[in-house]
Structure 1
Amino acid sequence: MVNISSCECMPWYVGVFRIRQRLTEEHWFDANCKYYTHVFDKTIISQVLGAIKYLSTIPKYEKCAKWLNENKQNLSQYFLEGFKSSKPLEVLIHGDCWTNNLLFKYNSKNTPVDLRLVDLQVSRLASPGSDINYFVYTSLTGDTRSKYFHDLLEAYYQSFSKVLILSRRKLPFTFKELEDDVERTKIVGLVIGLLAIPGIFFEGEDEIFDFGEMTEENMEEIFH
């Protein structure tokens, strides 16, 4: 997980990254492709069933397990809708913004002073809230997220604004509009957490399926 010191490196770099949308106007691939949605639906439902089974063993999580069970058929659609954007809330997002795609530079005191984002193959124009929720729900502990989330969001917006102002560009949206977008796209954080966290805790390579080996013939076996 990423600590608060590492998070403090992100706003400036991410702010610059967002401005690069001026250099590209390509949107994401067609997420309504039948093959893609079939695979994605199977993946999410499989992970949700595992989460329900686990949550059912924890006191006071009955409500969460019930909600997941009632919405499991629709979560993939909720997730994809979380990436939808409409101007002015449309920026170039990383698309897979979590700790494994962050390279940090440390000083002599082992304090992070800079970073680079890697694996940009799914970068696209989308909602800023989708990338923010993707990061905070995969890469921060619950304590760090609860304690510093608003501060990090403010730092993000300040960085974004500074880069635009220095570029003599008008700010496309207010901080309040960003807050509303983050709230609207929280479902992205929930779903990506369900998808990513099990993989993080795999202990051996044999437990991780190589999706390069997936075919239409073995798809049902994989997701059951």
Structure 2
Amino acid sequence: MALIGCDDKVVDVKFVDWQLVRLASPITDIAYMMFSSTDEQLRSDCYTKSLDLYYQTLDKNITMMGCKTDDCYPLNVFKDQIKAIMPFGLISSIMLLPTVLSNKEDTPEMDIKPEDFDESIYDNLLSNICKERLNGVFRDMVSFGLI
């Protein structure tokens, strides 16, 4: 979505992702993005800062709408949900990264007949970058105290 000013120039842009629309904690979206769209180094550099910035921005927006964040989504609830829900990022990474980071030539054909199926097609399915990214997700889940 874009806000266009009087001079027909873009003033502001907001990205709206309707793909996973549901009634859920915002932590599910943060977990999905944080662990499927970033690597270990970026999380190391920005994990805590990103969560802090997210909550500060959320607080600012809730306040602008005339509500008190402490009444509707206090910081202690946010932190408790991080511990409880953030491991969703592990699940989403396991499901998403092998598909997103696979090499086309390594992707098995899915239209083969059952009698022609050979399990060895899965031996090299995970690219090296996918393996490293998934290992990083596991390491971060442990180092951040999430699992």
TM-score, normalised to structure 1, is 0.40
Label 1:208 to 1:188 Cα distance change in 2 as closer, same or farther (>3 A). Answer: farther
Deviation at 1:127, TM superposition (A): 1.6
Corresponding residue number in structure 2 for 1:147: 45
Label 1:154 to 1:197 Cα distance change in 2 as closer, same or farther (>3 A). Answer: same
Corresponding residue number in structure 1 for 2:61: 163
* Alignment length (residue pairs): 102
Q: 1:69-218 maps to which residues of 2 (within 5 A)?
A: 114-118=13-17, 120-171=18-69, 172-204=72-104, 207=107
Q: Percent identity?
A: 24
Letter in structure 1 aligned against 2:59: S
Deviation at 1:187, TM superposition (A): 2.1
8 Å contact kept, 1:202–1:208 = no
Label 1:141 to 1:168 Cα distance change in 2 as closer, same or farther (>3 A). Answer: same
SS at match of 1:140: coil
Unmatched runs of 5 consecutive residues or more in structure 2: 2-11, 123-147
SS at match of 2:23: strand
Deviation at 1:163, TM superposition (A): 1.1
- Runs of 4+ in structure 1 off by over 2 angstroms are 205-210
2:108 and 2:29 map into 1 onto residues whose CA distance is 25
Superposed CA RMSD: 2.9
Q: 1:53-72 maps to which residues of 2 (within 5 A)?
A: none
1:132 and 1:194 map into 2 onto residues whose CA distance is 16
TM-score, normalised to structure 2, is 0.58
1:184 and 1:137 map into 2 onto residues whose CA distance is 15
Q: Which has the larger radius of gyration?
A: 2
